[in-house]
Structure 1
Amino acid sequence: MLNYAAAVAFLSLLTPSLTSPALQSNTLISARDACAGNTADTRSEWCDYSIDTDYSEEAPETGVTREYYFELLDSNVSPDGVERYAMSINGSIPGPTIYADWGDTVVVHVTNSLADSTNGTSIHFHGIRQNYTNQHDGVTSITQCPTPVGSTITYIWRALQYGSTWYHSHYSLQAWEGVFGGIVINGPATANYDEDMGIMFLNDWDHDTVDALYLSAQTSGPPTLDNGLINGTNVYGDDDHSDQTGFRWNATWVEGSSYRLRLVNAAVDTHWKFSIDNHSMTVIAMDLVPITPFTTNVLSMGMGQRYDVVVTADQASIASSFWLRAIPQSSCSDNDSSDNIRGIIYYANSTDTPTTTGFSFTDSCEDEDVSNLVPYISKTVGDSGWSDSEAATVAFNDDSLFRWYLNSTTMVVEWVDPTILKVYNNETSFVDSNGVIEIDDEEWVYLAIQTTLAVPHPIHLHGHDYYVLAQGSGTYNSSTTLNLANPPGGTPPCFLRPTDNPGAWLMHCHIGWHTSEGFALQFVERRSEMLDLIDYNLLNSTCAAWETYTDSVSVVQDDSGV
């Protein structure tokens, strides 16, 4: 069952404009030999590969290119019934889902048609490792100049992983103004299921734009938000009140069938506890990493995290409809609708409003227990001769605005002079505020991130999977016990990664306010190998367009640059 908001988004993909090349329908460029993939009873299989294939070492050669055309537009939206300005992709929020098979090549053309002359843009493909395609990581000031209004940029990458993730702008706070969408890469799975329900976004939402809220975030800390959305929709106001507006996300399930939900926390500043009343969830993947399945009733999700879960419709004897809940954790997330961010699961032909009760849980902003997050492909990681410790602190700058610091540096990088352009021009030094750590010829790198402030930070690293070696309260030091035997991915304080992907890679807190306030570093990895990978014509054309554009309009950079 589609609610109205979901139907509008779906129809926007089926009725592209005939006059705008940026709204052409998505196309399959080349074919390959037929591949059955898998069935409901053989999800561990995939063509000549399987869940036992080490996806970090090999991937199918499909010969298929999936091509997408995105246009960024100014829009008026009312996802909870209250109208406000937002940015959209092809007229919908969330934007179109990118679908590909494991091994396919993905081509995404992005046209910036925003009316506000100060808006550059970019698109980052969150969690996609971009093996040897650093330039297509889509991070302004790091891998490209912003794409100005009226211009188009093309990104090209291979789907060398499989599972569920998302894409979003990496220009200021645009990701939380509506410039985001899902990515589904079909492949094997660690559990069987009948139906794939696709991406399910969990967003916080406010009736002011995030740009309007950013000033208060800088002066007095994170603001209290008005609401939250499930796949782009929700109600606003109390139940049974005549002034309640909006629509709830809903779906109808068949008794006895099992369903895969691809959950994405796309919030600017909300840690969720996700659950479906009376139903348990089998968790089969996190952050594009297949894991040994575990079962839970309530799932804890930090900003930017993705979890794939399988749920069986086996509760018809209890009720005919059930609440699906996304609950902001009050210990780190302030929201005025904390008990009413809900969807509905119907059984059979029911249209009854649920009366079910949610599971009990402890309000907290912690990750899932790392003992449950066991990667299916087991890795024993190596110790390293190189290490560093980064302390996260917060202070006011000269304008009395909050800024985050890592080892006394708050990141500020310039839109017009991205890191890979500096490398191409053989600049061998960076200013401290660029937050650069250079790494060459190291097999493993580990980094400790710690803070004395009672604020959890979901850390996202571009270009790599990483392994969490230690996590918890206290201070990291040389005596800290490290887990080197098949450690999970997740939120540090102490993580390790291989240096196997030349490029300039951003690492940052995925709380939107914190990123803009400078909570970020970057790694320049294997500089000598970067030069042969840089497409200077692409880099120069985007930067030249941005420089020409900013010469004609007034563009003020008031954040970290990423």
Structure 2
Amino acid sequence: MKTDLVVAFLCCVLISKTTAASLTKSSHIIPSYSLSSALPSSSGSASSACSGNTATTRDEWCDYDINTDYTTTVPQTNVTREYYFNLESVTVAPDGRSRSAIAINGSIPGPTIEANWGDEVVVHLTNSLPASLQNGTSIHFHGIRQFWTNQNDGVVSITQCPTAPNNTITYKWRAMQYGTTWYHSHIGLQAWEGLFGGIIIHGPASANYDEDKGVIIMNDWDLNTVDQLFMSAQMDGPPTLDSGLINGTNVFGYDGNVNQTGTRFNTSFTAGTSYRLRLVNAACDTHYKFSIDNHTMTVIANDLVPIQPYQTNVLNIAMGQRYDVIVKADQVSVAKNFWLRTIPQNACSENANPKNIKGIVYYGDSPSTPSTTGYSYTDSCDDEAMSDLVPIVSETVSGAYYNKSEPVSLGKNGGSLYRWKLNSTSMHVDWEDPTLLEVYRGHHTWANVSGVVELPHKNKWTYIVIETTMSVPHPIHLHGHDFIVIAQGSGTYSGDGTTLANPPKRDTAMLPENGHLVIAFKTDNPGAWLMHCHIGWHTEEGFAIQFVERYTEIKPLIDYDVLHSNCKTWSAFQTGLSVEEDDSGI
């Protein structure tokens, strides 16, 4: 297989509004920065909760509201939310079939991180995996901008070394956005062994609702671990996975089959009540369509961006993406039980049981097997229409001009293993030598396999054009930024169909098969930021580049003692057990 995939980088000037700030250091805590200068301005009284946010005033939040520009203003709460995570090896049976996995505090998904808009979040991660598993670890807080706190991004080989067994790392960041997202490991395929969980940052909403149901996390699942499947994925392409889970549970086998195992996810509705559901696609390689039979969804946010509400019956959600929806419980006259469906799209991956990843929404005291019929849909791996994803806080970007383009391909290496190439290289970075360590040491020459693209200038728009002639769509995720979706569609990008006036804004968007994706972001956040396909196999096969943004401003942001200590411990562990790095390194 091969592809003609093109990436172009474009820039135009934007006036600077931010400056670097002083460092708060600890020998054990990754640094965060003074909010008075490096981060957006804070105003208003400290608050741990906002009583003005009620079922009929969801657009209000303390002295702020849904129209407040969260990129320039963040509430000053003076509240810290602290979490202690213990990563351990477990045996689980989420669909009734036992297999090994890893879990945070004994659960898959892990505990949900909750905070209010403006709070500080501290997460202590202890790696209690047996040394014999040879597993380092990290946590990436997907979609969290880490504004001027790059070292907290949790990406091995980029912002840290892996954290070795019997060691603890602490992440510290400010909840400057609000909405729904998730965290996951960012080393190898470890996220899909069980290290993931939801994040809820409470804030205003663009439509009213009565109750918040919390996160609904959908992910694919197999009796074999992803590590066991990775070699076949490299040799033969992505494998067919067995099934999927909803909030960590599902059945294996169809209803009425005496051999069916496991338990379906279920949630109760009270007639007349409106519910907020926070949908997260945490899959390795499954694009879902989400629906609840007979019910209509009002979509109020994509990723961590509040949008103008729109209605749909079936929602596209790609790997890494999130949508917040409101559902009115208005169908009790039709039935007492309804299927909640997360349907894998076979247009971009294969699942052995695509019609059986279902939960139950029930009215009454307890659930029973529904007999309802699902909505019709076309099997596809598209994003929601750009015209539907209209941000509440509007932004207009300048016109683009090209200054660099390079082809990207998919082929096999000398070991006959598939490797993706983005920006003319298949990424391969070193666990023991992360980009931030290189920057701290003053190194400024990058190996081709590091996939570095330098963005030296302050506060400019950078435009990225990605094109493919291959019939494989890809969810593209950028760290450190929300990006603007300038264009998205079939064929080669011609410059037509470009949206510059308040286009969609998010952190993960689909590159369509045989199509193009054009995104833009401001260089307002110094650091080393990864951009990659969020299909687990593709990331590990090198489908990634990294932007080293404002190189000269990164070093003052680094807590060298923490970075070096973690790397020194990992290096000793890796050498002592002869741990081999056999993937992209991220």
TM-score band w.r.t. shorter chain: over 0.9
Q: Distance in 1 between matches of 2:214 and 2:382?
A: 26
Q: Structure 1's 33 and 210: CA in aligned 2 closer, same or farther, altered over 3 A? A: closer
| Aligned counterpart for 1:472 among listed residues 485, 489, 497 | 489
Q: Distance in 2 between matches of 1:461 and 1:448?
A: 13
User: Hey, which bits of structure 1, 4+ residues long, moved more than 6 A?
Assistant: none
Q: Structure 1's 387 and 270: CA in aligned 2 closer, same or farther, altered over 3 A? A: farther
Preserved contact between residue 391 and residue 451 of structure 1 (Cα < 8 Å): no
Q: Distance in 1 between matches of 2:406 and 2:206?
A: 36
Preserved contact between residue 406 and residue 424 of structure 2 (Cα < 8 Å): no
Preserved contact between residue 392 and residue 449 of structure 1 (Cα < 8 Å): no
Q: Distance in 2 between matches of 1:187 and 1:64?
A: 15
Equivalence for 1:9: none
Q: Distance in 2 between matches of 1:537 and 1:384?
A: 41
* Alpha-carbon offset, residue 32 of structure 1: 4.8
Q: Distance in 1 between matches of 2:48 and 2:79?
A: 10
Q: Distance in 2 between matches of 1:91 and 1:351?
A: 26
Equivalence for 2:279: 263
Higher mean C-alpha displacement, 381-390 vs 85-94: 381-390
Q: Distance in 2 between matches of 1:378 and 1:71?
A: 40
Preserved contact between residue 136 and residue 165 of structure 2 (Cα < 8 Å): yes
The answer for unaligned runs of 5 or more in structure 2 is 1-45, 512-516
Deviation sequence 1:275-323 (CA, Å, 0-9, x none) = 0000000000011000000000000011000000000000011111100
Q: Structure 1's 60 and 280: CA in aligned 2 closer, same or farther, altered over 3 A? A: same
Q: Structure 1's 278 and 387: CA in aligned 2 closer, same or farther, altered over 3 A? A: farther
Deviation sequence 1:367-399 (CA, Å, 0-9, x none) = 111110111111001235564335442100000
Equivalence for 1:122: 138
Map 1:395-406 to 2 at 5 A.
395-406=411-422
Equivalence for 1:244: 260
Deviation sequence 1:178-225 (CA, Å, 0-9, x none) = 000110000000011111010100111000000000011000000000
Share of identical aligned residues, percent?
A: 62
2:342 aligned partner, one-letter code: A
* Alpha-carbon offset, residue 440 of structure 1: 1.4
2:468 aligned partner, one-letter code: T
Q: Structure 1's 548 and 485: CA in aligned 2 closer, same or farther, altered over 3 A? A: same
2:470 maps to 1:456: no
Preserved contact between residue 388 and residue 447 of structure 1 (Cα < 8 Å): no
* Alpha-carbon offset, residue 408 of structure 1: 2.7
Equivalence for 1:359: 375
Map 1:33-432 to 2 at 5 A.
35-115=50-130, 116-385=132-401, 387-432=403-448
Preserved contact between residue 261 and residue 308 of structure 1 (Cα < 8 Å): yes
Preserved contact between residue 391 and residue 449 of structure 1 (Cα < 8 Å): no
| Aligned counterpart for 1:482 among listed residues 492, 498, 501 | 498
**3-state SS of 1:103 partner:** coil
2:580 maps to 1:550: no
Q: Distance in 1 between matches of 2:184 and 2:216?
A: 15
Q: Structure 1's 398 and 359: CA in aligned 2 closer, same or farther, altered over 3 A? A: same
Deviation sequence 1:151-181 (CA, Å, 0-9, x none) = 1000000000000000000000000000001
1:433 aligned partner, one-letter code: V
Equivalence for 1:16: none
2:532 maps to 1:516: no
Preserved contact between residue 382 and residue 510 of structure 2 (Cα < 8 Å): no
Instruction: Please report the TM-score for the alignment, with normalisation by the length of structure 2.
Output: 0.89
Equivalence for 2:531: 507
Preserved contact between residue 117 and residue 149 of structure 1 (Cα < 8 Å): no
1:118 aligned partner, one-letter code: Q
2:551 aligned partner, one-letter code: R
1:152 aligned partner, one-letter code: T
Q: Structure 1's 387 and 79: CA in aligned 2 closer, same or farther, altered over 3 A? A: farther
Q: Distance in 1 between matches of 2:406 and 2:325?
A: 34
Preserved contact between residue 225 and residue 334 of structure 1 (Cα < 8 Å): yes
Preserved contact between residue 273 and residue 301 of structure 1 (Cα < 8 Å): yes
Q: Structure 1's 480 and 391: CA in aligned 2 closer, same or farther, altered over 3 A? A: farther
Q: Distance in 2 between matches of 1:272 and 1:390?
A: 31
Deviation sequence 1:99-144 (CA, Å, 0-9, x none) = 0000000000001111134101100000000000000000000000
Preserved contact between residue 423 and residue 451 of structure 2 (Cα < 8 Å): no
Q: Structure 1's 213 and 35: CA in aligned 2 closer, same or farther, altered over 3 A? A: same
Q: Distance in 1 between matches of 2:418 and 2:133?
A: 27
Q: Distance in 2 between matches of 1:485 and 1:164?
A: 25
2:544 maps to 1:526: no
Q: Distance in 2 between matches of 1:409 and 1:535?
A: 30
* Alpha-carbon offset, residue 348 of structure 1: 2.0
Q: Distance in 1 between matches of 2:551 and 2:342?
A: 43
The answer for unaligned runs of 5 or more in structure 1 is 1-30
* Alpha-carbon offset, residue 406 of structure 1: 1.3
**3-state SS of 1:212 partner:** helix
Instruction: Please report the TM-score for the alignment, with normalisation by the length of structure 1.
Output: 0.93
1:273 aligned partner, one-letter code: K
Q: Structure 1's 318 and 117: CA in aligned 2 closer, same or farther, altered over 3 A? A: closer
Equivalence for 2:11: none
**3-state SS of 1:449 partner:** strand
Q: Structure 1's 387 and 88: CA in aligned 2 closer, same or farther, altered over 3 A? A: farther
**3-state SS of 1:548 partner:** helix
2:111 aligned partner, one-letter code: P
Higher mean C-alpha displacement, 111-120 vs 278-287: 111-120
Deviation sequence 1:231-282 (CA, Å, 0-9, x none) = 1100001210110000000011100000011000000000000000000000
Q: How many residues align?
A: 531
2:585 maps to 1:561: yes
Q: Structure 1's 402 and 34: CA in aligned 2 closer, same or farther, altered over 3 A? A: closer
Q: Structure 1's 33 and 308: CA in aligned 2 closer, same or farther, altered over 3 A? A: closer
Which structure would you say has the larger RCO, counting Cα contacts within 8 Å and 6 or more residues apart?
A: 2
Q: Distance in 2 between matches of 1:338 and 1:65?
A: 42
Higher mean C-alpha displacement, 432-441 vs 115-124: 115-124
Q: Structure 1's 351 and 110: CA in aligned 2 closer, same or farther, altered over 3 A? A: closer
Equivalence for 1:539: 563
2:78 aligned partner, one-letter code: G
Q: Structure 1's 311 and 128: CA in aligned 2 closer, same or farther, altered over 3 A? A: same
Preserved contact between residue 244 and residue 357 of structure 2 (Cα < 8 Å): yes
Preserved contact between residue 74 and residue 85 of structure 1 (Cα < 8 Å): yes
